[in-house]
Chain A
Amino acid sequence: MRGKSLIPFILGLALLLPLLGPGPYHLSLLNSALVITLLTLSWDLLGGVAGQVSLGQALFLGLGAYGFSLLSTYLPPAGAALATAVVGTAFAAFFGLFASRLEGIFFALFTLCSAEVFHEATMNIPFILKGVEVGGEGGVPCLGGAGILSLRGLVVEYYSLLLFTASVGWFLLRTLRHPVGLKLRGIAENELLARATGLPVERLKFGAFVASGVLGVVAGIFSALHSGRATPSDFSLELSFQAATLSALGGRGTVTGPALTAVAVSYLFGALDVPPQVRLSLYAILLPAILLDLPRKALGLLRGSRTPLSSRQ
């Protein structure tokens, strides 16, 4: 309850933030942090609420970023975003058809390999945009993102991201209490038991996969808008790992925990100018500590926090 009552306060603060004059640099950092938060929420729906461990969540962010960057060359930004969402949903449905039949480590391997295929392909296969060859490590420029260099553009982007992230968070919190959410949590707790009780496990997993994919695609559109390009690193294993770790740090399947952790940690790392290698190493070091429940064991903290989803066997 204490955490819940904090949400309106945090949202109110977030709404007022641009008025406090944080400057373009910090606003840009916040926008980056909100993109990571969206990706983390998309992971949390699939990996936390539905309990399906995805190691390739960046697949959707990459699809969104590349789809939007490529399409914005030919379409106006709104049309490109809509078309990307449709194409991204189709991709998510295609992969979901196979992934929803898998369990445990096989699901994880499937998602990991899917994202890696796209990572390697975008790294090595060029695109031809209006007769010009683009792609490779430098990625594809996003024409729709050219306006986000100004403070005004950053503020608009910030409020768009905040509105979308808050809406997604609210929707996921509602889902947790909805019968569908309860069924997904049942699958997460014990898939075999859920199957035995007659739940349409594969259909529910498919739904969670596609919904999570769509959120990831939207995160990708924002990412391309924000950075002005889509690069192979949008598909990277490191990004998928980051989303899973942030969700674990915040409390897998709790929605608010992962969201707040993602925005705070991502912003802090950016503000402190922590190099990406150090960030990843810190995540990799922190993760086992969280998995082994060391903070609670060492400090006796977090007592009474929601643990069933994180201590799932």
Chain B
Amino acid sequence: MNILAQSLAGGFFLGISYAVLSAGLALTVNVVEIINLSHGAFYLMGAYLAYSASSFPGLSLLFLAASAAGPALLGLFIARTLVNPLRKDHFSIAVGTLGLAILFEQAADLLWGDRALSVHPGAPLGEILGVKIYPWHAGEILLSGAVFILFFLLPRTKLGLAMRVLAEDEEMAESVGINTNAVRATAFSLSCALASVAGFVSAPGLVLTPTAGRMPLIFALVIVILAGTRRLLPVAALSLGLGMVTFGLALATSAYVEYILLLTAVLVVVSVRRGGLFTLKIERDY
């Protein structure tokens, strides 16, 4: 019973971090209208920063801030220099963002080596229903709350409104004087920061290798394709559900089986629904 509860909790917390990651990817798909294949690399970047932070226990908050600010600035730079000029060319965006992911992987290999690393979870804070709660679990709850508040408040700000108008109709957005490039760059930057912070907070639950960002990317793609990009609630609900299922699968079988099943899910979903499901807006229908 205890093992079952602990496993369910493991899947639940994995789902929370993937929900934040998927929310970031959904923002990019919706506003920038691209699929960023380096999104998982930003998640991994945050996780590796958490690993480095574990050597400086007193500076955790500083590292957390860096895990948000660094990728946000990097994302802003990438959006300005690569994404905005090339976003209408499928080849450039697909291969360009994949290239960035590979570059991050090589950098991680150089900085932290190719052996598997793990982050110590620290002392448990307590126990609820037989499940040990660690500081990173609390961090995930706080992060998910913060993301919900962000996505609740964002549409009520001028920037959020501009994002919504841009997501609806680019020409209309330009005609009312919205700086579409700046809005896209901000959305991309925010998405990168979300991915990185999700990786930072959930790092103790991960096994860190330079290519460990690929599975979260595939997971986020499955979520975004299935749940759509416009509502946060389906993204969160599906992430939690799928997080628990895949975590259980990984425990019962092996991590690679989990990854293969996720990949197969993408293959099936993309094949069955040529243009993606629900509101994944890449191509116009008319």
Tell whether A244 is near chain B: CB-to-CB under 8 Å.
Answer: yes
Number of residues in A with C-beta < 8 Å to the partner?
Answer: 43
Expressed in whole angstroms, the minimum distance between the Cβ of A284 and any Cβ of chain B is: 4
CA distance A113 to B93 in the complex (A): 17
Out of B82, B254, B259, B274, name the residue touching A102 (CB < 8 Å): B274
Expressed in whole angstroms, the minimum distance between the Cβ of B26 and any Cβ of chain A is: 15
- Which residue of chain B lies nearest to A238 when distances are taken between CB atoms in the complex? B102
Q: Which of B258-274 contact A (CB under 8 A)?
A: 259-260, 263-264, 266-267, 270-271, 274
Q: Are B35 and A105 in contact (CB under 8 A)?
A: yes
Expressed in whole angstroms, the minimum distance between the Cβ of A182 and any Cβ of chain B is: 20
- Which residue of chain A lies nearest to B210 when distances are taken between CB atoms in the complex? A277
The size class of the interface chain B forms with chain A is 35 or more
Q: Are B82 and A105 in contact (CB under 8 A)?
A: no
Q: Are B82 and A113 in contact (CB under 8 A)?
A: no
Say whether chain B's binding surface is mostly helix, strand, loop, or mixed. helix
Q: Are A288 and B274 in contact (CB under 8 A)?
A: no
Q: Are B270 and A110 in contact (CB under 8 A)?
A: yes
Chain A hits for B100, CB < 8 A? 284
Q: Are B109 and A237 in contact (CB under 8 A)?
A: no
Out of A47, A106, A281, name the residue touching B91 (CB < 8 Å): A47
Q: Are B267 and A53 in contact (CB under 8 A)?
A: no
Q: Which of A242-265 contact B (CB under 8 A)?
A: 244-245, 248, 252
- Which residue of chain B lies nearest to A102 when distances are taken between CB atoms in the complex? B274
Out of B90, B99, B256, name the residue touching A288 (CB < 8 Å): B99
A120-B259, A277-B106 are known contacts. Are A283 and B276 too (CB-CB below 8 A)? Answer: no
Binding site for A on B (CB under 8 A): 34-35, 37, 81-82, 85-86, 88-96, 98-100, 102-103, 106-107, 109-110, 214, 218, 221, 254, 256, 259-260, 263-264, 266-267, 270-271, 274-276, 282-283
Binding site for B on A (CB under 8 A): 47, 51, 53, 55, 98, 101-106, 108-110, 112-114, 116-117, 120-121, 123-124, 237-238, 241, 244-245, 248, 252, 277-278, 280-281, 283-285, 287-288, 291-292, 312-313
Q: A237-B102, A280-B102, A281-B107 are in contact. List 18 more A-B contacts (CB 8 A).
A: A47-B91, A55-B94, A55-B98, A103-B275, A104-B282, A106-B282, A109-B35, A110-B266, A110-B270, A112-B98, A117-B260, A121-B260, A238-B102, A245-B95, A245-B99, A284-B100, A284-B106, A287-B96
Question: 27 A-B residue contacts at CB 8 Å?
Answer: A53-B94, A101-B271, A102-B274, A103-B283, A105-B94, A105-B282, A108-B94, A109-B221, A110-B266, A110-B267, A113-B218, A113-B264, A113-B270, A117-B267, A121-B260, A237-B98, A237-B102, A241-B95, A245-B95, A281-B102, A281-B103, A287-B96, A288-B96, A288-B99, A291-B82, A292-B86, A312-B89
